[in-house]
Structure 1
Amino acid sequence: MWPTLTALSNEGTNMSNSDARHEAGPSDTTCGREIPRDPRLDASMGLLSEGYRFVSNLCDQLDSDIVSTRIRLREVICLRGGTAARLLYGAEGLTRVGAMPSSVLHLLQDKGSVQQLEGPAHRHRKALFLGICMDPARVEALVAEFRAAWRAALDEWEEADSIVLQQEAARVLTRAACRWAGVENQPEARLAEEIFDMIDKAGSIGPRNWLAQMRRSGTERRLRKLIEQVRAGEVVPGSATALHAIAFHREADGALLDDTVAAVELLNVLRPIVAVGRYITFTALALHRETNWRDLFRSGTLELAADFAEEVRRISPFFPFTAAVTTRPLQWEGYDLPADQWLLLDLYGTLHDARNFPDPARFRAERMLSWSGQDDCFVPQGGGEVAVTHRCPGEMITVELLKEAIRLLCLEMDYEIPPQDLGVRLNRLPAQPRSGMVLASIRRRPGTEPCVAG
């Protein structure tokens, strides 16, 4: 696609990537431990009904962090926990090709993207995204665009009786992302709706998903034309923009990216930025419920905004799972994993495991989590070393945008939370507050000096 630490119970958290690869080495001739098996013929209905809790429920029932089941009659080994995260994000002998249902793949990463590559090819393409997404100066520039887009939208919100924050955040982030990435002359309102649908319908099946895929195809066509115009010199983006970097990126063999692949990768920069809108929605919900934290931020004390943002990322249901397929027999924790085995890592369950995060259902920003610590159990956007694994390179962007959203919500505007359904269904993928988080009676706060979150 694109929150002092409490004592976390996590065996071997500091294991290096080389150690992880050794632990998940080729399977030998010895007989491995027996993997507990789900007695159901197929667990697809359980996945649909239990959603984010599916893997954890199964692991708890079978008293194991590794279980075997079937989804749509395909055998899958489900795992949870830090050592499992090291396997899926640190081990060789895995591929993402064939791991994700096509209905999800085409709406999110799509074919030819960096997520579909492995080994040297993946690391070379990943370096492109590291340069775009993890350069502090570029991240600061994106936050500035986000701030400007939010303030412009605030003028409109003051005239409205109410807004649905989840939808408005997508619109604001699309505008900020396009201007930051150098993607000009695009229908921003339409693009915001298209990208929102890619994210919102990724977990659906049937006509809703098909329509979102059709809309994504139109988005890709427009971006492919833009890539062609850049390469022809008809459009000249700034040299520091994502559009310029992707249009002129060369693979290890010296060839430019295919126009279609370049368009896919450009969208893979824009889409994850817009997806941060879901975290912004959950941030507003947390501010509504955690009144002590809200009052602290409204007093102008923002030093702990990053801790708050990280706890939002931990506790909020975002991506429930990640998947991979073994390319050769592996052995992990004494269990034999055959070649061509589908693996499913429980991200939500790992983030809500009491062994790693005491009292996991309680919002506790004082956990002082941080994406930069690369803790194997804190995996809202993946685990492992970002430069060499499939961990998302956008965590710095996510946290900085959330810090700015906290500042904007608490210091630059007043609003009311009218009666609404703020419940979150965990069998809806991706999850969201049912109402989308309605804000009413929005007013710009007078006399508030702009400042940067600490």
Structure 2
Amino acid sequence: MNDSRRPPITDSSLALLAKGYAWLPDRRRRTTAPLVRARLMGQHAVALCGPQAVRFFYDERHVERGSALPGPVLSTLFGHGAVHTLDGPAHRVRKEMFLSLLTGPEAVAGVVDSVTAVWDEAVRSWTGRPSVVLFDEASRVLTEGVCRWAGIPLDDAEAVARDLVAMVDGFATAGPRHWRARRARARSEAWLGRLVEDVREGAVAAPAGSVLETVAGHRDADGLLLDPHTAAVELLNVIRPTAAVCWFVAYAGHALHHRPELRDRLGEDDPAYAVAFAHELRRFYPFAPFVGGRAVTDLTWQGEPIPAGTMVLLDLYGQNHDPALWEEPYAFDPRRFLARPPERDELVPQGGADRAAGHRCPGEDVTVALLSALVPRLARLEYEVPASQDLRIPLNRMPARVRSGFVMASVRVRAAAPAAARTP
């Protein structure tokens, strides 16, 4: 093997922490090879990008996802025993449960109706307060809405929302945020594990057809019920990603602040534009930097060897900002999605490939539908944006977020424009 095909001697883990989302795109720009070779945590890693790379990465004959997830990520974001840790038939059977719950018009509409009802209730309280933090308010709204829909009883929606946010906020760091995430997951798994046991014992009635009833009664590929801990993990894997949509709601506030001319178009009854705006939010703003797996056998990618056991990374953030795929990739412009919807393996903020057979997020339709419903509601509000807040989004923080959470002062409901004054 020539030198260009050998992993670097120097470990890039510190560089990744320092540069965050920019690390892989920067490395890709500095090489003419079809992949990036690096050493991370002492291991040989290669990084790929592009629609063809998405299909290569999610092919289980090439890359195994389950065994590649680090323990700290399982202890914070996904949970030990989660569907993300499975491959092959075991993964497909567990994944089918999520697909049955989170895909299809009826399921998506159910989540959206529940969340928007809570949002509309919340807005009435915002108008009586000096200011609100959009990130925090959206996390509570999304948590309460998804739990209502899922049949999960809540005593304190705000506390549960804080824990769900903490799990996402702390998975990619070794500092205090990480330990907050671990404590939040332990609390949440204990609470939901007890709830599953109560449902099975008849002490709590789960609404018929609800997420709670489905997960409590799910049997895996081995025909056995999920143990209470694993059932709790999978309940969290329904409600946690929904609560995480608060990242994009805060990003929507950021986008509308910097592009105020988009507010009127969003305020109109134009579902196609709302969906295009949701796609552009997910493309433009940072969420997942990359996903990883391990080569299951000796592989070749565009002439470059990938030895068995190599860590394989798929550059999501880089692909969503690749000038080969997107005209003016660092400009926020929802119109790019009005002419045509994104291709399956082109826009990959939540992973790529087929949802049924692969590891792509089964709740992606829910995310798009929630943003398509909530962002126009946000655009119809009037509010002040205090200049004293920090609206920066540092790319060396993973997951990135608007530092201030996007503070809105003097919130009031925007009066509808007369029909004759609206944009045709």
Asked if 1:241 corresponds to 2:216, the answer is no
Q: Which residue number in structure 1 is paired with residue 163 of structure 2? A: 194
Whether the 8 Å contact between 1:374 and 1:384 is mirrored in structure 2 is: no
Q: How does 1:318-333 map to 2 (within 5 A)?
A: 318-333=287-302
Structure 1 Cα separation of the partners of residues 407 and 87 of structure 2: 42
Q: Which residue number in structure 1 is paired with residue 266 of structure 2? A: 297
Whether the 8 Å contact between 1:307 and 1:370 is mirrored in structure 2 is: no
Asked if 1:418 corresponds to 2:386, the answer is yes
Deviates more, 1:59-68 or 1:426-435: 59-68
Structure 2 Cα separation of the partners of residues 350 and 318 of structure 1: 13
Q: Which residue number in structure 2 is paired with residue 19 of structure 1? A: none
Per-residue CA deviation, residues 284-325 of structure 1 (Å, 9 max, x unaligned), is 211222223212123444441101110111011000010001
Q: Which residue number in structure 1 is paired with residue 107 of structure 2? A: 138
TM-score (norm 2): 0.93
Specify the code of the residue in structure 2 equivalent to 1:164: V
Deviation at 1:229, TM superposition (A): 0.8
Q: Which residue number in structure 2 is paired with residue 261 of structure 1? A: 230
Given candidates 167, 171, 177, the residue that maps to 2:136 is: 167
Q: Which residue number in structure 2 is paired with residue 223 of structure 1? A: 192
Q: How has the CA–CA distance of structure 1 residues 293 and 445 changed in structure 2, closer, same or farther, with 3 Å as cutoff? A: closer
Whether the 8 Å contact between 2:163 and 2:185 is mirrored in structure 1 is: yes
Given candidates 319, 324, 335, the residue that maps to 1:366 is: 335
Deviates more, 1:119-128 or 1:299-308: 299-308
Given candidates 45, 52, 67, the residue that maps to 2:36 is: 67
Structure 2: stretches of 5+ with no match in the other structure: 419-424
Per-residue CA deviation, residues 141-184 of structure 1 (Å, 9 max, x unaligned), is 11111111112211221121111111111111110011011001
Given candidates 137, 153, 168, the residue that maps to 1:184 is: 153
Structure 1 Cα separation of the partners of residues 152 and 160 of structure 2: 11
Deviation at 1:91, TM superposition (A): 3.9
TM-score (norm 1): 0.87
Q: Secondary structure at the match of 2:101?
A: helix
Q: How has the CA–CA distance of structure 1 residues 36 and 437 changed in structure 2, closer, same or farther, with 3 Å as cutoff? A: farther
Q: How has the CA–CA distance of structure 1 residues 34 and 110 changed in structure 2, closer, same or farther, with 3 Å as cutoff? A: farther
Whether the 8 Å contact between 1:310 and 1:370 is mirrored in structure 2 is: no
Q: Which residue number in structure 2 is paired with residue 126 of structure 1? A: 95
Given candidates 60, 63, 66, the residue that maps to 1:94 is: 63
Whether the 8 Å contact between 2:8 and 2:39 is mirrored in structure 1 is: no
Q: Which residue number in structure 1 is paired with residue 378 of structure 2? A: 409
Q: Secondary structure at the match of 2:44?
A: strand
Whether the 8 Å contact between 1:247 and 1:262 is mirrored in structure 2 is: yes
Q: How has the CA–CA distance of structure 1 residues 356 and 373 changed in structure 2, closer, same or farther, with 3 Å as cutoff? A: closer
Deviation at 1:373, TM superposition (A): 5.3
Deviation at 1:111, TM superposition (A): 1.6
Specify the code of the residue in structure 1 equivalent to 2:188: T
Q: Secondary structure at the match of 1:90?
A: coil
Deviates more, 1:73-82 or 1:110-119: 73-82
Per-residue CA deviation, residues 91-150 of structure 1 (Å, 9 max, x unaligned), is 424222342332222111122111111111111111100011102112111111111111
Q: How does 1:349-364 map to 2 (within 5 A)?
A: 349-364=318-333
Q: Which residue number in structure 2 is paired with residue 157 of structure 1? A: 126
Structure 1 Cα separation of the partners of residues 101 and 365 of structure 2: 11
Given candidates 50, 73, 87, the residue that maps to 2:19 is: 50
Q: Which residue number in structure 2 is paired with residue 431 of structure 1? A: 400
Higher relative contact order (CA 8 A, sep 6+): 1
Specify the code of the residue in structure 2 equivalent to 1:53: A
Specify the code of the residue in structure 2 equivalent to 1:216: R
Whether the 8 Å contact between 2:63 and 2:312 is mirrored in structure 1 is: no
Q: Secondary structure at the match of 1:355?
A: coil
Q: Which residue number in structure 2 is paired with residue 400 of structure 1? A: 369
Q: How has the CA–CA distance of structure 1 residues 437 and 309 changed in structure 2, closer, same or farther, with 3 Å as cutoff? A: same
Deviates more, 1:204-213 or 1:307-316: 204-213
Q: How has the CA–CA distance of structure 1 residues 315 and 326 changed in structure 2, closer, same or farther, with 3 Å as cutoff? A: same
Q: Number of paired residues?
A: 417
CA RMSD in angstroms comes to 2.1
Q: Secondary structure at the match of 1:77?
A: strand
Structure 2 Cα separation of the partners of residues 415 and 39 of structure 1: 51
Identical-pair percentage: 39
Deviates more, 1:88-97 or 1:437-446: 88-97
Q: How has the CA–CA distance of structure 1 residues 344 and 35 changed in structure 2, closer, same or farther, with 3 Å as cutoff? A: farther
